[in-house]
Structure 1
């Protein structure tokens, strides 16, 4: 069969590549998996009761737009968290934000913009950004997010001829994998650039509720303050990290009325809305902040543990937010294999989250470490990492 050549530019899938890399014996009697960002803290205790009370909803097709209660809860969260007043028609419930981040490009990217359209993505990046770009026939353009740029992409450094073709820029704050946070000035500069070159910003804010002291600024919050074009920014949020419910596959996006109309239309033909019992759970979870505060406190403890164990390492940067460590090593693949063989700790080479650019992969000199396991396992894992790689 003749498959599209554009997909030949995709990076190799992360998890099969990692399994092949670490398919070697380990000396350790016990293993600790610190690769995937799958939260292991307890989800809210009320989830089970709400699900049980709404089981009858599995007997019907869910509404494409989402239930009123679910949309009300999301709008309430946006108002409490960012001071935004967002009507229901400018919110779309999602089966996890990966669906939304992909389908946004499908719905919003034009077929041409001064030639072949460009989609900007940070490098390192969440791979759905690149897949989305290639799926719509756009040219992905990888913008380094390295220590030199405070681990956020410097979109102002992109050549003007690329910016003039840019239709979409993906931005992730707090950043996966580095834990860097875009402040208001960063968002203002990026939105100003987008206004100048007329592209949209798809802001992946899935880690927004896991932070140290100051809540990360939101892209739509800043765009609204600036009086930017109402279609300039679409934001994406999830319950996976905020509420430890990755298996619920529940998130949302919010933005301008035309953007959301187009995304909703695509959903009507090619998507699947969240079942109503799960929407009932999601509504209750978005309405509750107490469990979020408790969850954040657990991550505060892990930040302190990481700083105590690894803070002396040259190049170590404590994350501002999120639950990943982006640890400097000489070579990420070699470090991950050595660590696994000697200690039984599984980590992810940074190169598996990055694209080679100008002959270099910006993730080669790092490993990503997920601090999602129980606190004692995180402490033990980080101690083993320190002793094995930095001792």
Structure 2
């Protein structure tokens, strides 16, 4: 297995190829692409909204905004106004485009701060905006070491991405110090809270709980409602920033389709399907972590939140996540995501977007 760690076979595509070559039925747990059913009402909402005839509002219809505001009040615990929320075409395009949109009027700010282990799109967005990326160091407990950020970097920082529960580690971060850092240095804080509904050891905080000035929070219906294919999400926070972003997005034609906005408005108030989805993910996390512990002979920690296992490769695999990933693909047909893609090559990520049938397959191989 050693040779695979040194010959470049460390990408998801290559691990997927190895899994298919194994001749086993492949269980692809590399990408967090939902496999469970969306709320039953979705087809009716798509077919009956009547919003397909005209151009949709880029920042969200009145019904969409009202639903978002109600959800923010009931589920996040913050009260905002309509001018403080907007719609996105999923969350990835917003993450990737936000640095570019914000940089236009802030030429003296050319650095994007991101967590040390992070979703790759934070760095991609900075790259496409022509900005530098600075990975904020972590303390020994894994939390952000804000005091380690050089003063010169803080002065140049345009945007600071935080993510809690974190993808891929599952850590739930205290956001008060980050909010204070942004206030002190005039840095826009963008909090990716797409896994807000999936806190396990405790309830995740929202950045908006520490005020909205200079703050943006991002949410998605992809995981909570299994609507990744419809591409719909929302952002909320500082009204001036929201309006600045909304105007730019309108000029660029970044408009979530009207029927999709109608679906979002219809499902945001339904908590029952989210409770069921939480149950599914919690069970999968428990089972898969136990199977991997038995296989590897080392503890596999359950996350504080989110839908991923962040598995450290044992000594047997030279503490290299890609090498462990090769073994899992070749012997068990299980495709995972190498930790190097997120910032730590010692780990690999296992997504719990595994269907019931695939869980049965894994149980027969690993259980």
**TM-score w.r.t. length of structure 1:** 0.83
- Tell me which residue corresponds to 2:4: none
Partner SS, residue 175 of structure 2: helix
Say which of 225, 241, 244 aligns to 1:259.
Answer: 241
Alignment of 1:273-312 (within 5 A): 273-310=255-292
Separation in structure 2 between the aligned mates of residue 161 and residue 34 of structure 1, nearest angstrom:
40
Unmatched 5+ stretches in structure 2: 1-8, 314-318
User: Are positions 1:85 and 2:76 aligned together?
Assistant: no
Separation in structure 2 between the aligned mates of residue 163 and residue 137 of structure 1, nearest angstrom:
18
Structure 1 residue ranges (4+ consecutive) displaced by more than 6 angstroms after TM superposition:
none
Change (3 A) 1:307 1:345: closer
- Tell me which residue corresponds to 2:26: 31
- Tell me which residue corresponds to 1:105: 99
User: Are positions 1:176 and 2:167 aligned together?
Assistant: yes
- Quote how far apart the aligned CAs of 1:145 are: 5.0
- Tell me which residue corresponds to 1:345: 334
Change (3 A) 1:16 1:247: farther
Give the stretch that moved more between structures: 265-274 or 377-386.
377-386
The question of whether the paired residues in 1 share the 8 Å contact of 2:202 and 2:304 is answered with no
The question of whether the paired residues in 1 share the 8 Å contact of 2:10 and 2:338 is answered with no
- Tell me which residue corresponds to 1:202: 190
- Quote how far apart the aligned CAs of 1:106 are: 2.0
The question of whether the paired residues in 1 share the 8 Å contact of 2:15 and 2:336 is answered with no
Separation in structure 2 between the aligned mates of residue 201 and residue 382 of structure 1, nearest angstrom:
42
User: Are positions 1:72 and 2:56 aligned together?
Assistant: no
Change (3 A) 1:82 1:29: closer
The question of whether the paired residues in 2 share the 8 Å contact of 1:69 and 1:283 is answered with yes
Change (3 A) 1:315 1:276: same
Separation in structure 1 between the aligned mates of residue 58 and residue 346 of structure 2, nearest angstrom:
44
How many residue pairs were aligned?
350
User: Are positions 1:241 and 2:223 aligned together?
Assistant: yes
Change (3 A) 1:60 1:371: same
The question of whether the paired residues in 1 share the 8 Å contact of 2:85 and 2:236 is answered with yes
- Quote how far apart the aligned CAs of 1:128 are: 1.8
**TM-score w.r.t. length of structure 2:** 0.88
User: Are positions 1:314 and 2:295 aligned together?
Assistant: no
Change (3 A) 1:125 1:70: same
- Quote how far apart the aligned CAs of 1:220 are: 0.8
- Tell me which residue corresponds to 1:189: 177
The question of whether the paired residues in 2 share the 8 Å contact of 1:350 and 1:365 is answered with yes
Partner SS, residue 364 of structure 1: coil
When the two chains are superposed, the root-mean-square deviation of aligned CA atoms in Å is: 2.3
- Tell me which residue corresponds to 2:6: none
